[in-house]
Amino acid sequence: MSEQLGTLEELPQAYRDDMTRAGVAPLWPMMRNVLPHGAPNPITRPGHWRFDAVRPLLLRAGELTPVEKAERRVLVLSDPGRGTGAMQATASIYLGLQLLLPGESAPAHKHTPSAARIVVEGSGGYTVVDGEKLPMQDGDLVLTPGGDWHDHGHDGDEPVIWLDALDLPLFVYLEGSYAIEGPLQTRRNRPDAAHVEYAAAGLVPSRGPAAATRRYPMMRFPWARTEAALREMARFADGSVAELDFINPETGTDVLPTMGFTAMMLAEGQSDRPPLRSSSAAFHVVRGRGTTVINGETVAWGPKDTFTAPVFADLTHTATEESFLVRIHDRPLQDKLGYYEERSR
């Protein structure tokens, strides 16, 4: 294995000029930029967005920009490694905090990227996905898969804020990102599937072998149900952190093709040191306080905060009070590409 590769500057200027005119470049001076030895060298840096700092800015956006002029009134959470304005929180995950005021509606559209929402604050908001009205309560996970029509509305009397997570960077990189707009959808006159077909774990509607199911049969995962399941799991966890993955109830696979969501519960004083994972991640604090050390950098998080970690990050979570978090990660994408990896410390 070569220890020191040749540099561009070592090549004669005339040769470099000839290559430029031919539209080619030598690989060897750039090799280690794209194929570093042993592990990736991520651009992504740990990010931390305190909700109490972002919330006033989001409410001010509501005063300055009507939803009709914004379509989606969002403040983007930009990766510090890429700089403010970057449409990435990690290499593959976009994050934004979205505001909807009482009486407002966000127009219907569909797009190639997939999205999920974690409700941060407020009640009375809802999302309609392919005609299914999904109420939005604190902590709920709501899916809007790629290619599905969706719009938002607000029947309550206080602002509603949620965290958007999209695989948008992938589609931008592939030059496949676009949206189509349409009229607000006609809603079905029934509760959503989380209340009807999938009200209990391990149970799905009975059907014959020829019956077709929707690709994404359950679009809303109520937080109250998730927290109850975490608490019950924690009772018998023998000191380990209680974690539950959100899955498609029909197939057992991750809820979206490229993004996974994992709910976590840490008791007061409990710490967790996960393995080094090849997946990048964002953590949203549903409730609680604590610290996370990310590659030696300490993030002190509180309720409704969001923070991120790059690939193969060395993480230590410690809760100073009972805490619930949702980890958003790109393991499903890496599984499909066949390279997801965990390393011991």
pLDDT at 137: 95
Question: Mean pLDDT over residues 138-150, rounded?
Answer: 96
Over the stretch 91-109, which tens digit does the pLDDT of each residue have?
A: 999 999 999 999 999 889 9
**Domain 48-343: which CATH number of 3.40.640.10, 2.60.120.10, 1.20.140.10, 3.40.190.10:** 2.60.120.10
pLDDT digits (tens, 9 = 90+) for 274-318: 999 999 999 999 999 999 999 999 999 999 999 999 999 999 999
Closest Cα partner for 307 from 320, 319, 325? 325
pTM: 0.95
- Rounded distance between C-alpha atoms, residue 247 and residue 332, angstroms: 11
Q: 269: pLDDT confidence band, cut at 50, 70 and 90?
A: very high
156 in Cβ contact with 123 (< 8 Å): yes
Structure tokens at 268: 């007061």
CB–CB of 73/62 below 8 Å?
Answer: yes
The answer to whether the beta carbons of residues 90 and 283 sit under 8 Å apart is no
Taking the chain, what is the end-to-end CA distance rounded to the nearest angstrom?
A: 26
At CA 324, angle to CA 235 and CA 84, rounded to 5? Answer: 160
Q: Looking at the predicted structure, is the pLDDT value of residue 68 above 90?
A: no
Taking the C-alpha atoms of residue 186 and residue 56, their distance in angstroms, rounded to an integer, is 34
Note the pLDDT of residue 187. 87
Give 171's pLDDT tier (boundaries 50, 70, 90): very high
| Cβ–Cβ under 8 Å, residues 73 and 113 | no
Stretch 155-183: mean pLDDT: 96
**Which pLDDT band, with edges at 50, 70 and 90, does 265 fall under?**
very high
Asked if pLDDT for residue 47 goes beyond 90, the answer is yes
Backbone dihedral angles phi then psi of residue 331, each to the nearest 5 degrees = -55, -40
Query: Where exactly are the structural domains of the chain?
Result: 48-343
